[in-house]
Amino acid sequence: MIKKGSKLYSILTGSCPKCHQESMYETKNPYVLSDVLKINEECSHCHTKYRIEPSFFYGSMYVSYAIGIAFGVAAFVISYLFLESSLITAFFAIIGTLVVFAPIIMRLSRNVWINIFMHYDENLVKKKTE
């Protein structure tokens, strides 16, 4: 179990990067495709505004390339090396993986991106719970 307070917690759960108290997303389930990129304006706990600037999340595209490649490599290794599929099958396994995991990849990349710029702040949590 990953504890609140680590960046990994915010990245994997999509929670507020500053207080980790609630999800940044309007809909938690990434497979509700119409809502996959809908991020709340601000955290209702610590009032952090998630968009530092209007086009803030465009930068997360760079992260999504990296995460996409990681997923692709994983799919290739599993199908080609472990399941000993043909190269063509491995190719389709990569495509299939990227399609199936696209909503997760998109969110993970945004979570990583915002966690580069914002950091967990214990005081924000204490203020609310004391």
The residues that touch Zn ion, with contacts defined as CB under 5 A, are 16, 18-19, 43, 45-46, 48
- 10 near 120, Cβ under 8 Å? yes
CB nearer to Zn ion: pick between 45 and 107: 45
How many alpha carbons lie under 13 Å from residue 110 in its C-beta half-sphere? 25
CB within 8 A of 77, min separation 6: which ones? none
Residue 30 CB, nearest distance to Zn ion (Å)?
20
Compute the least distance from the CB of residue 53 to Zn ion, in Å: 18
Toward Zn ion, which CB reaches closer, 25 or 101? Answer: 25
Counting DSSP H helices and E strands in the chain, the numbers are 5, 0
Question: Among residues 18 and 107, whose Cβ is nearest to Zn ion?
Answer: 18
CB of 25 to Zn ion, least distance (A): 13
* Opening angle at CA 57, ends 51 and 59, nearest 5: 135
Closest to Zn ion by CB, 20 or 97: 20
Smallest distance, Å, CB 90 to Zn ion?
Answer: 42
- Phi/psi region, residue 53 (left: phi>0; alpha: psi -120 to 50; beta: rest), is beta
